[in-house]
Structure 1
Amino acid sequence: MTTLRTAPRVVVGFSLLWLLQWPVRAVVLLIVAALPLGVEVDSFGVALLSAVVIGLLGTLLVLPLKALLALPWAITSLGGLISPISWVYNWVITVILFALAAWLIQGFRLRNGLVSAVLGAVVYAVLSAVILGGLGLEVSATRAALLMSTTPLG
């Protein structure tokens, strides 16, 4: 019964944390666009929208992408025994999500195609982690994992 009482508080706290992260991630995207990586963002408004879309795509598509890549991952990593392969697959998913967001949003472009997607996604992920961690805004759990862990099953 305590799970029911604490779940809304945790979700509200998480939502507030996400709202605090949103403009920071937009600024990070503008920083990435300022670097010579081939990533272009027209304005802060486009960066805000892009940060939302990247987050939503990450929430909605991570599990389907992992399911789609499960067989090649299992074969190449020997079922997870070779951990650098798992790391590469996670980065591939990050690049796909970054590129998909750029494809969906007018004003967010990848000038050099795949090269810009790879460089932009890697720098965006690293800078986001460092800056959000430095500000104390980083969350170690995904939204889906948080909701699953706080929702009673019966």
Structure 2
Amino acid sequence: MGSLIWLLQWPIRAVVLLIVAWLPLGVEVSSFPIALLSAVVIGLLGTLLIVPLKLVLGPIWAVTSLGGLISPVSLLFNWAITVILFGLAAWLIQGFRLRNGLVSAILGGVVYAVLSAVILRALGLDVDFTRAAGLQMAVPAA
């Protein structure tokens, strides 16, 4: 069921990326096929890099969020990971550009994450497992 949900999410995330590019955030996407490719790359990077990001950010997340008790910190870590993935995808894909560098990555990544979450939840295609939950699982229990 998870791969089916991902296949349904893919074009929606591409449309969200086009919406982000339409906003004055410094994100440029040249076409819908580039947006589709970018959505795939962001997803694949998230899959491939979640373990290394857990190892690096997990202890920091555990301390700053008191083991997940302070949920705004978890939200910030989710967004930080999204910004990293967003920036990496833009670096890898010709036709997906961040005009203002880190500022565009931060603004675009955050807006992309929020819009994706809202739209996917409204459509019933959200997945409960979040990157912050993945980070929490990487931290050994005391």
Per the shorter chain, which TM-score range? 0.7 to 0.9
* Distance (Å, rounded) in 1 between the aligned partners of 2:67 and 2:121: 31
Partner of 1:138: 126
Write the letter of the residue equivalent to 1:136. Answer: G
Runs of 4+ residues deviating >2 angstroms: 70-87
RMSD (CA atoms): 1.9
Partner of 1:87: 75
Deviation at 1:78, TM superposition (A): 4.5
Q: What are the within-5 Å matches in structure 2 for residues 40-51 of structure 1?
A: 40-51=28-39
TM normalised by structure 1 equals: 0.76
Partner of 2:110: 122
TM normalised by structure 2 equals: 0.82
Deviation at 1:77, TM superposition (A): 3.7
5+ residue gaps, structure 1, are 1-12, 146-154
Rg larger for:
1
- Tell me the matched-pair count: 131
Deviation at 1:74, TM superposition (A): 3.8
5+ residue gaps, structure 2, are 134-142
Q: What are the within-5 Å matches in structure 2 for residues 31-110 of structure 1?
A: 31-110=19-98
Q: 1:71 to 1:137 in 2, by over 3 A?
A: closer
Q: 1:131 to 1:87 in 2, by over 3 A?
A: closer
* Distance (Å, rounded) in 1 between the aligned partners of 2:65 and 2:121: 30
Partner of 1:24: 12
Q: Tell me the percent identity.
A: 78
